[in-house]
Amino acid sequence: QQQVKQSPQSLIVQKGGISIINCAYENTAFDYFPWYQQFPGKGPALLIAIRPDVSEKKEGRFTISFNKSAKQFSLHIMDSQPGDSATYFCAAKAAGNKLTFGGGTRVLVKP
Amino acid sequence: DADVTQTPRNRITKTGKRIMLECSQTKGHDRMYWYRQDPGLGLRLIYYSFDVKDINKGEISDGYSVSRQAQAKFSLSLESAIPNQTALYFCATSDFNGQYFGPGTRLTVL
């Protein structure tokens, strides 16, 4: 049973377009929601994160939107570039710094 | 991810063999983790350690064991490997900012 559900599993977007990845969670004890980016042959790397007292966080072309009442959060990649082609994981943290990960979304940005 | 290193990077082994995956870190973090990654399932926590004397099971610890030899070293063992343990394995450390992953070990059990 996955506590963090991520969709879609894969996504193709044209260069310059917007990539949107959605995650939903059940555990209201989660208090930190990071997104990780993983390139082939590499480990996941922290991309951006949000805490539940904030509804939106933006860093460059990457934005997290957070809806606490719906228990959902999403990653938006604006002006998507071929170099953004990677697998993206949402995650949620409860006590003890343990992360629960979503299933991942493979994003392909076509030139 | 050069701060967290994993050896070996690739390993092919046979059913029933014992295998050890090693992780070292130079970040000075007390907290270390072992995950496995399978397609569509994301990363699942196998074991974690908050310091040298503290070892805890994660959500999928059956068939695995760990050893925290020092603050910088955390090893994962498969006592008797089976084919469904074929996966990508990641070690990670953490501080209050987040978790930092090594490059992974691709393990194939035939």
The secondary structure of A24-50 as a DSSP string is EE--TT--BEEEEEE-TTS--EEEEEE
pLDDT for residue A1 is more than 70: no
The pLDDT of residue B42 = 87
* Encoded tokens for A71: 């228990």
Q: Where are the beta strands (DSSP E) in chain A?
A: 4-7, 10-14, 19-25, 33-38, 45-50, 56-59, 62-67, 72-77, 86-93, 99-101, 105-110
Check B42 against A44: CB less than 8 A apart: no
* Interface-testing mutation among B36, B43, B97, with chain A (most A C-beta atoms within 10 A): B43
- Name A33's bridge partners: A50
B90:A43 CB<8 A: yes
Q: Does the pLDDT of residue A26 top 60, yes or no?
A: yes
Structure tokens at A15: 């260069």
Kind plus residue range of the DSSP H or E element containing B50 = strand B42-51
- Tell me what pLDDT residue B97 has: 78
Contacts of A3 in chain B (CB under 8 A): none
Facing B42 at nearest CB: one of A34, A45, A103: A103
C-beta atoms of A103 and B94 within 8 A: no
Please state, as a whole number, how many other Cβ atoms lie within 10 Å of the Cβ of residue A96: 9
Q: Give how far B50 is from chain A: nearest CA, Å.
A: 9
pLDDT tops 80 at residue A89: yes
CA-nearest of A29, A39, A44 to A102 is A44
pLDDT for position A94:
83
Interface contact B94-A97, CB threshold 8 A? yes
End-to-end CA distance of chain B: 29
Distance to chain B for A45, nearest Cα, Å? 7
pLDDT tens digit sequence for B9-58: 999 999 999 999 999 999 999 999 999 999 888 899 999 999 999 999 99
Name beta bridge partners: A13: A109
Candidates B58, B83, B106, B41; CA nearest to B66 is: B58
**Interchain CB distance below 8 Å, B41 and A44:** no
CB A81 within 8 A of CB A17: no
The tokens of A65 are what?
């939107």
